[in-house]
Amino acid sequence: MRKIFLAVVCVLLLFASPVLALEVPSTHLVSVQWLSDNLGSPDLVILDVRSPKAYNEGHIPYAVNLPKKGNFQKGHVGNVKHVLDTPAEVTKLFRKVGISNNSIVVLYGAGNSVKSYTFATREFWTMWTYGIKNIAILNGGYAAWKDAGESVSTNCYVPATGDFKINNMQLSDMATWPYIYKAIATHKIQLIDAREPAHYKGTDHDRRLLKHGHIPGAVEIAYYNFVKKSGNDYKLISPKKIVSLLKKNGIDINKPIIIYCNTGHLASGNWFAIRILANIKDAKLYDASMYEYTRMPLPVTK
């Protein structure tokens, strides 16, 4: 009788124990193993940020296709494009792909080029700004998933509609043009240009820009410096190497930092590495970046 009683107590304690919610690592970067181990978890939302064509050819099981093109940065103010989408648009989009406030979101890109990770980081920044904190990026993207021999799917996954509501926006990670004014005027805010050398030096022929060159005082640290090839995929470098890279380029990690590019896309890669991976809290992304800046009465340097 005593054995039966103890068995019953054990069962009751098992069901009475709280179910621990799935959480992403503090770096907001997950490995293939982590995602594989948690595949199928009820609150997990996996977002494939590649093109519909790439998604249809093969994707991670349960992944929903949410390409950056056509879904993010559709907003505009006057003649300035590529700004953050409105709360109404974002709420509708997040719900459509199955996101609720208790969701765990994992984003992944192609992973087979130095630029592919920035498609995931731009969506990460948007979601982070709109208050989603249990969110991560798959290191190495789809290329790493395939290299590991994990299963793939060609079925278009349609999730149940989410009920996401905006609660706490994270505006402290966003820089707008007044911040840039202050950086130029006071020299107390560090500027990082995430673009390639031609754009930084003003030798490009990018028709989106009305002026060519960089913001005075900005240091160039191109987006591709934050990833390194590993087999067939590109993975983000370690927090220690990120800090070393910043210091090597004269950046003081204890002073405010603003990162920009042409539209805020490539700069999101730098921002994710600096603000999230290296946990340097006073690092902001300039949304709309040089697309907006070159339309303002402000100088550029070559």
193 and 108 inside one domain: no
201 and 113 inside one domain: no
In a domain, 246, yes or no: yes
Tell me the whole-structure pTM to 2 decimals.
0.90
187 and 246 inside one domain: yes
177 and 277 inside one domain: yes
195 and 125 inside one domain: no
132 and 178 inside one domain: no
In a domain, 224, yes or no: yes
Please give the average per-residue pLDDT across 29-38, as a whole number.
Answer: 98
Q: Do strands 219-220 and 190-193 pair parallel, antiparallel, or not at all (unpaired)?
A: parallel
In a domain, 11, yes or no: no
Domain count across the chain: 2
In a domain, 1, yes or no: no
Q: Which of 3-7, 53-57, 83-87 has the weakest average pLDDT?
A: 3-7
- Reading the block at residue 37, the tokens are 């181990």
- Reading the block at residue 50, the tokens are 């590649």
In a domain, 9, yes or no: no
Instruction: Calculate the alpha carbon distances from 278 to 215, 245, 273 in Å.
Output: 25, 11, 6
63-88 pLDDT, tens digit per residue, is: 999 997 765 555 555 555 556 678 88
More confident residue, 192 or 4: 192
90 and 212 inside one domain: no
pLDDT on residue 5? 39
108-152 pLDDT, tens digit per residue, is: 999 999 999 999 999 999 999 999 999 999 999 999 999 999 999
| Residue 175 predicted with pLDDT over 90 | yes
The last residue of a domain, from among 98, 132, 147: 147
207-253 pLDDT, tens digit per residue, is: 999 999 999 999 999 999 999 999 999 999 999 999 999 999 999 99
In a domain, 116, yes or no: yes
In a domain, 162, yes or no: no
Edge-to-edge strands, sheet with 190-193? 174-175, 283-286, 257-260, 190-193, 219-220
The last residue of a domain, from among 103, 132, 147: 147
284 and 188 inside one domain: yes
109 and 21 inside one domain: yes
pLDDT on residue 10? 38
pLDDT on residue 233? 97
pLDDT on residue 126? 92
Report percent pLDDT > 70 for the chain.
88
In a domain, 237, yes or no: yes
Other beta carbons within 10 angstroms of residue 243's beta carbon come to 17
CA–CA–CA angle 81, 198, 189 (5° rounding): 65
The last residue of a domain, from among 112, 147, 182: 147
Domain containing residue 210: 171-293
pLDDT on residue 22? 86
Please give the average per-residue pLDDT across 3-29, as a whole number.
Answer: 57
Indicate the pLDDT class of residue 89, thresholds 50, 70 and 90.
Answer: confident
| Residue 3 predicted with pLDDT over 50 | no
* CATH code for the domain of 186: 3.40.250.10
pLDDT on residue 79? 55
pLDDT on residue 68? 76
Counting Cα atoms < 13 Å in the Cβ hemisphere of 7 gives 4
143 and 175 inside one domain: no
Please give the average per-residue pLDDT across 272-282, as a whole number.
Answer: 97
Alpha helix (H) residue ranges in the chain = 2-16, 32-38, 52-57, 87-96, 117-129, 141-147, 177-186, 197-201, 239-248, 266-271, 289-293
142 and 175 inside one domain: no
Residues 251, 190 contacting (CB under 8 angstroms): yes
What does the alpha-carbon distance between residue 31 and residue 284 come to, in Å, rounded to a whole number? 26
Counting Cα atoms < 13 Å in the Cβ hemisphere of 101 gives 8
pLDDT on residue 170? 87
123 and 193 inside one domain: no
Chain-centre distance for alpha carbon 219: 22
| Residue 57 predicted with pLDDT over 70 | yes
